[in-house]
Amino acid sequence: MKILELKRVGLVALGGVIGSLSRWGFSILIPNHSFAWGTLFVNYLGSVVLTVLVVYAKHHPSPQWWWRPAIGTGFCGGFTTYSAFALKLDQYLDAKNTHALMEYALASLIGSFVLVFITYELSEARWRRT
């Protein structure tokens, strides 16, 4: 393995550790008691961060080499998880709480889509001018 590839692996791992610890911190600050507010917030925030990163990369074709693997794959990958979303849906199913299941599923899917759309449009407008 080349040195640059080893550095990328290290950066993904470091970003993943920071993202996972951040997610854990949010789970303490915003516990998921009756509704998965913490998980929903983290997934919303991660969607926004990743969208900004993608649009920034589009408008800055040769940025520093390290930030995409560290922030995009590492941090966002550790911070947001599909498994937490799926687990919460499964818990609502087991509890036969179809109302919360539908609310959470729709809030997650529609909310993330809307946030990505808005973030994309705002970021595009911002970096198109520069």
CB 59, CB 128: distance < 8 Å: yes
For residue 16, is pLDDT > 90?
yes
Q: What pLDDT, on a 0 to 100 scale, did the predictor assign at position 70?
A: 92
130 contact partners, CB below 8 Å, separation of at least 6? 59
**Count of CB atoms within 10 A of residue 105's CB?**
14
68-71 contacts, C-beta under 8 A, 24 or more apart: 69/8, 69/11, 69/12, 69/15, 70/11, 70/12, 70/14, 70/15, 71/15
Who wins on pLDDT, 31 or 25? Answer: 25
93 contact partners, CB below 8 Å, separation of at least 6? 101
CB 12, CB 65: distance < 8 Å: no
Q: Tell me the residue type at 16.
A: G
Cα 102 to chain centroid distance, Å, stands at 21
Q: What pLDDT, on a 0 to 100 scale, did the predictor assign at position 130?
A: 63
Average pLDDT, integer, range 39-68: 88
Average pLDDT, integer, range 55-66: 80
Q: What pLDDT, on a 0 to 100 scale, did the predictor assign at position 58?
A: 87
Q: What pLDDT, on a 0 to 100 scale, did the predictor assign at position 57?
A: 87
pLDDT-derived band at 63 (thresholds 50, 70, 90) equals low
85-123 pLDDT, tens per residue?
Answer: 999 999 999 999 999 999 999 999 999 999 999 999 999
pLDDT, the chain, mean: 91
45-57 pLDDT, tens per residue?
Answer: 999 999 999 999 8
